[in-house]
Amino acid sequence: MKQDLNAVELKYRKWIIILSIVIPLVVAILFGIKLKDFGINVEPLTFLPPIYATINGFTALLLIVAVIAVKNGKLKLHESLMKTAIACSVAFLGMYVAYHMTADSTKFGGEGIIRTIYFIILISHIVLSIAIIPLVLITYVRALAQRFDRHKKLAKITFPIWLYVAVTGVIVYLMISPYYGN
């Protein structure tokens, strides 16, 4: 495997592994930490969920337009769109953690089949949001390394998963938003 990797890929390999482990762990830890428990009196950042849901929607659109761009040979546009999608995902993550550190979790109030559907979407969203981290990072590094054959091959897997995560993030928000503040 190592002989298949060029210098750029090898340079970032350790960081991809570290980030792929550390990001989900830190998010899980911070998700359980409330600033008020440490005497930090901060108002709940209740304005953030619609913003980070919008960012998820915007990320989905960026991904779709980026795929169209690359299929039309607009490589610089594709690159810019993908960098913006990554930046949006990082912004989402920061806002998501900030919200959950300042506000209590909202319980889904739906019943019956809609409750089952909600939790199927939520659980698949969470699991795939963890899986997408190394996929995005490896796909991006392959482009940086100009290993476009390998980049394209992995991007065919990364794109639909990332798109699913972005879209289901919006769906989860829309499904739970009536229960905020209850």
Give the CATH number for residue 102.
1.20.120.80
179 pLDDT higher than 80: yes
Share of the chain above pLDDT 90, in %: 77
**pTM (2 decimals)?**
0.91
What is the rounded radius of gyration, in angstroms, for the C-alpha atoms of the chain? 18
Residue 148 three-state SS: helix
- CA–CA separation, 104 vs 101, rounded Å? 8
The total number of structural domains in the chain stands at 1
The label of the residue with tokens 């810019």 reads 80
Residues 6 or more apart whose Cβ sits within 8 Å of residue 93: 23, 27
The label of the residue with tokens 């993030």 reads 169
Instruction: Specify the pLDDT at position 62.
Output: 98
List, for residues 105-122, the tens digit of each pLDDT value. 889 999 999 999 999 999
List, for residues 34-64, the tens digit of each pLDDT value. 888 888 888 989 999 999 999 999 999 999 9
Q: Which domain holds residue 64?
A: 2-179
Residue 129 three-state SS: helix
Which amino acid makes up residue 5? Answer: L
